[in-house]
Amino acid sequence: MRIYVLGAGVVGVTTAYTLACLGHDVSIIDKAEDVAMGASWANGAQLSFSYTDPLASPATLKKLPAYLLGLDPATQLRLSANPEYIRWGLLFLRNCLPDRFRVNKSERLKLAELSEVVFKNFRDEFPKGALKQTGKGKLVIAQTDQELQAMKTKPQFIDRDECLGAVPSLRHWTGDLKGGLFAEEDLALDTQIYCRAFKQILIQKWDTQFYFEETVKIVSPQSDGTQIIITDKTEHRSDSVIVCLGNDPKPLLRPLGLRLPLYPIQGYSLTLPTTPDSPVMSVTDLKSKMVYANLGDKMRIAGFVDANQKTDRIEDRLTLLKTTAQKNWPNVADFDGPITQWTNARPMMPSGVPVIRQTKTKGIYLNLGHGSLGYTFAAGSAKKIATMIGHARKNTAITGGSHHAA
């Protein structure tokens, strides 16, 4: 079957690879000039298979007034009259209720568990070292009593001394450290390395076509069950389309009668040189909504959760990210060295559960809305799509159209 994957972020390239493994003839289209140039570019770099709680939770509900009024430095869900935000917000509120939270949490954990297994398979299938981790293990630290109490009920809980044993560099931590959740199997790996490894294997093994700098305008379903994909450059005909467009699928989905409550939740990152004290293990600070990940010769510090942030405040948010990291953990990275700053948005569903399904239109599938853990969920999400589509049937010819190369 000729399948077009729209979007070459972590979700798109992983989906393309998984489908190619099943014998499909896969092509990828992206408006950017290479893979991983959207939300996947400089994210927290964590494959966080063990800690997957959604943002919408009873705990978040309690803090919501502070988040809405801009009183929490790490989370600023600014009010807006945008109807899409209002719809998202109302659904988000509903998902903060305990019964919804339980269901969403369990869905996310299941997807993360599947992702962990599939990711391990990728590592075996890829050339040696292509997906080699740069950060090993993960520690989520509690700074408040409330965080500590919630953690104590979990099997991965370790106390303060054990945290210091797991990440010796935390002896320089100046914030509170009350305990943590330890996940030995979690890891960090630069998403750019990950996506390039997928691109390389797709090209080398299956001659996969990547159409870069091509913006998809319309996906037009045909009466014979195929689709014509109209871009700003040409047309492509496919038997199936997988929409992996991160934050931008809405213009494409609306004409197909689909209105997903997807909203961009902004985050920020800094990439800076390591020091001898930089940890190998990733660390997540729940209170400050920040993550620290080792990328080999660089540290990635990412975080904050913003909605509708004003453009002229982005510089302030990046500065705050840096000063918070420097204050809490002065030698986690070389703050005087060259720093690369980045901001982008998490494509977030109110529930925090990604949309991985076939649409009512034959041959069109969605792999979207991975929010804060799109990198972690990419492998499991790809596997789910591949399971829906199944193995390629021999001699599946495309009828009634031609394929134009860009």
Ligand X SMILES: Cc1cc2nc3c(=O)[nH]c(=O)nc-3n(C[C@H](O)[C@H](O)[C@H](O)COP(=O)(O)OP(=O)(O)OC[C@H]3O[C@@H](n4cnc5c(N)ncnc54)[C@H](O)[C@@H]3O)c2cc1C
Residues 193-222 that bind ligand X (CB under 6 A): 215-216
How far is residue 7's CA from residue 242's CA, in Å, rounded to a whole number? 9
Quick one: 53 or 248, whose CB is closer to ligand X? 248
According to the binding rule CB under 6 A, does residue 246 interact with ligand X? yes
According to the binding rule CB under 6 A, does residue 29 interact with ligand X? yes
Residue 35 CB, shortest distance to ligand X, in Å, is: 7
Measured N-to-C along each axis, helices 374-389 and 10-21 cross at an angle, to the nearest 10 degrees, of 30
According to the binding rule CB under 6 A, does residue 285 interact with ligand X? no
According to the binding rule CB under 6 A, does residue 31 interact with ligand X? yes
Quick one: 114 or 345, whose CB is closer to ligand X? 345
According to the binding rule CB under 6 A, does residue 346 interact with ligand X? yes
Quick one: 140 or 245, whose CB is closer to ligand X? 245
Stretch near ligand X under the rule CB under 6 A, chosen from 28-36, 77-85, 308-316, 321-329: 28-36
Residues 6+ apart with CB under 8 A from 120: none
Quick one: 116 or 239, whose CB is closer to ligand X? 116
Contacts with ligand X: how many residues (CB under 6 A)? 43
| Strands 263-273 and 240-243, bridge-based pairing | unpaired
Stretch near ligand X under the rule CB under 6 A, chosen from 34-42, 69-77, 178-186, 389-397: 34-42
Residues 41-70 that bind ligand X (CB under 6 A): 43-46, 48
According to the binding rule CB under 6 A, does residue 27 interact with ligand X? no
Site string for ligand X, 287-326 (x = CB under 6 A): ----x----------x------------------------
According to the binding rule CB under 6 A, does residue 95 interact with ligand X? no
Residues 260-279 that bind ligand X (CB under 6 A): 267-269
Greatest Cα pair distance in the chain: 67
According to the binding rule CB under 6 A, does residue 236 interact with ligand X? no
Q: CA-based angle 51:170:183, to the nearest 5?
A: 25
Residue 38 CB, shortest distance to ligand X, in Å, is: 3
Quick one: 31 or 392, whose CB is closer to ligand X? 31
Quick one: 352 or 392, whose CB is closer to ligand X? 352
Stretch near ligand X under the rule CB under 6 A, chosen from 26-34, 158-166, 176-184, 389-397: 26-34
According to the binding rule CB under 6 A, does residue 11 interact with ligand X? yes
According to the binding rule CB under 6 A, does residue 111 interact with ligand X? no
Residues 367-406 that bind ligand X (CB under 6 A): 370-376
Residues 6+ apart with CB under 8 A from 355: 260, 262, 349, 366, 367, 368, 369
Among the listed residues 316, 276, 270, the one whose alpha carbon sits nearest the alpha carbon of residue 293: 270
Residue 293 CB, shortest distance to ligand X, in Å, is: 7
* List of residues contacting ligand X (CB under 6 A): 6-12, 29-32, 37-40, 43-46, 48, 215-216, 244-248, 267-269, 291, 302, 344-347, 370-376
